[in-house]
A and B are shown apart, each in its own frame.
Chain A
Amino acid sequence: MSISRTEVAHLARLSRMALSEAELDHFAGQLDQILTAVARVQEVAAEGIEPTTHAAGLSNVFREDRLSGCLGQLAALDQAPAAQDGRFRVPRILAED
């Protein structure tokens, strides 16, 4: 396996991280090295082996549906980077045009 700088730049975009050119240069080589090492899992003959997604192996876990306290508006906004009129203030989501 080898991964190109262009692919790493694409991964950074998918991951929503505005990495600098210097960071991309640096990470490209390291990710290539790591991917080469982890690709060793492909040596394992695993035909027909069930994947394990979870160590506990529990499924369909239920609990009583009970009323309990919830986070109030003030508490929810307390740590917001920006708030306005009792709501989270966020940057624009849609473009003008």
Chain B
Amino acid sequence: MAGGPATDSDLTRLSAAELAAAIAAGEVSAVEVTQAHLRRIEQVDPQVHAFLHVDGDGAVRAARAVDERRAAGEPLSALAGVPLALKDVFTTVDMPTTCGSRILEHWRPPYDATITRRLREAGVVIIGKANMDEFAMGSSTENSAFGPSRNPWDLGRVPGGSSGGSAAAVTAYEAPLGIGTDTGGSIRQPAAVCGIVGTKPTYGGSSRYGLVAFASSLDTPGPLARTVLDAALLHEVMSGHDPMDSTSLNAPVPPVVAAARQADVAGLRVGVVAELGGEGYQPGVMARFADAVGLLESLGAKVTEVSCPHFRYALPAYYLIAPSECSSNLARFDGMRYGLRAGDDDAASAEEVMSLTRAAGFGAEVKRRIMLGTFALSSGYYDAYYGKAQQVRTLIIRDFNAAFEQADVLVSPSTPTTAFPIGERVDDPMAMYLADLCTIPSDLAGNSAISVPCGLADEDGLPVGLQVMAPVLADDRLYRVAGAVEAALQQRWGHPLLAQARGLTERIPAGGGPGDD
């Protein structure tokens, strides 16, 4: 960096795009970048608990390989040498993959997920595995068997979930990039409550091979980052057709990076979804959302209101479809071939051992959803519950199709409230489920959606996210809108939103260590 050696603080505060450019230009080595982030993790992660596993040696080795490729004059990818927090639901041969569950504690997968492999091939440095709600079921990371992650804005609050560890790591400058998975909102909701950017790509746009399945017809890997451009760069690197995933779309990746750079909404038709707002929404969330809609209008977008009448049935339909798929997917955890085995005393039968293993290995939310799914799929109830939910899914897709005839993108708040206190909803499933109220429709329809920061709620000073939804394979529109909103708001504020996050800076004085409290 110009003017002398870069400090850790300089390096951890740069964007992924800036870091990659500095590495490519030889201003800083990938090893230095990785080491700065490892020191940051050492300093703040005892409080944030974003990571379940940090692989310092592996990360430095991966960074050194990037430096060597650069020294040899080989071309580098757009994100070569940039550290990343990988949600612990993607398999990694060199790190444990636990899914936040006791049933997979210490499990070492025999193969890499396609996403993992693509990151490695692009020279992205996987610095560790990020905490998550068990098997991605939850909206707060409190369902992790290994303890919750904390929101860097206020360590007494949740970072959202289920990709809360990835979001917290990016927010706390432990890594500029994170990867999460979105089944009902698990990328956008944590991004919103942490004040960062998170995208759910079009279903099938990113590979599920090696992603431990929760709800196969919904699970979608996607990027988390502090800037819209960084999210787009990661979106591009991780996406694309994968013959190993039969639901992967054989279509070109939408031009997301160009769209993020374009960042222009002039003439774009923006539809405000009437059903996503109002009663039950925090006033400060609605106020920032209204500001964002006004901002889009001032930037030349044509704003209209659209109605999606079946969205009110999205949450109930989701909590039938997702548990049904989970009850089937999680049947593989039987204590026989890998993972935990409990109660094997040479007298108990295989079936008894299986039941004891699953009772000991799964947490409360996973147990609830397995039973709920078993109920919804059982004969006699199937038509009234699972079948009906699948029909609602069709009606939601039709609502989207009608709305996208009137508008190029749809907008709503990303979440009904800001980050809630740790413990507040942990044993109140319905209250927890409401956190995904605005994000679920896009999962059920399989289209694309992003959350981009749009300010702080007046009543609590916590981040609010603007959700932008676009049709299937029109993911680039998300980045056009999010890029425009980000640029205009930062110009107004004079700084990125995260500069206002005080949760960590107040508790960790400069030079302070993990022992500080």
Contact = CB atoms under 8 A, between A and B. Distances in A.
B344 A34 contact: no
A51 B391 contact: yes
Contact of A81 (B110, B341, B368): B341
B412 to A, nearest CB: 19
Interface in A6-21: 7-8, 11-20
B429 A34 contact: yes
B353 interface: yes
7 cross-chain pairs, A with B, having the tightest CB-CB distances, nearest first: A55-B446, A51-B390, A81-B341, A46-B391, A18-B355, A52-B393, A55-B203
Main secondary structure, interface of B, reads helix
B247 interface: yes
A84 interface: no
Nearest to A30: B429
Given A11-B371, A31-B371, A16 B247 contact: no
Which of A3, A7, A11 has its CB near the most chain B CB atoms (within 10 A)?
Answer: A11
Contacts of A23: 359, 364, 367
Interface string B389-414: 11111110100000000000000000
Contacts of A53: 217, 390
Given A16-B355, A31-B375, 11 more contacts: A15-B370, A17-B358, A17-B370, A39-B385, A42-B388, A44-B310, A50-B394, A55-B204, A64-B243, A79-B107, A82-B344
Contact of A93 (B350, B358, B387, B389): B350
B390 A52 contact: yes
A25 interface: no
Given A27-B371, A55-B218, A88 B337 contact: yes
Contact of B247 (A19, A33, A46, A58): A58
22 contacts: A3-B375, A15-B371, A15-B374, A16-B334, A23-B359, A33-B430, A35-B372, A41-B316, A44-B388, A44-B395, A51-B393, A55-B443, A55-B445, A55-B446, A56-B249, A79-B338, A79-B339, A88-B337, A90-B350, A91-B346, A92-B349, A93-B349
Contacts, number: 180
A80 B338 contact: yes
A49 to B, nearest CB: 4
A53 B353 CA distance: 33
A37 B203 contact: no
Interface residues of B, number: 69
B498 interface: no
Interface of B: 107-108, 110-111, 203-204, 217-218, 243, 246-247, 249, 310, 313, 316-317, 319-320, 327, 331, 334-341, 344, 346, 348-356, 358-359, 362, 364, 367-368, 370-372, 374-375, 378, 384-385, 387-395, 397, 429-430, 443-446
Interface residues of A, number: 56
B368 A95 contact: no
Contact of B355 (A17, A71, A75): A17
Given A79-B107, A79-B110, A37 B316 contact: yes
B7 to A, nearest CB: 42
B75 to A, nearest CB: 28
A30 B395 contact: no
A19 B335 CA distance: 16
Contacts of B246: 58, 61
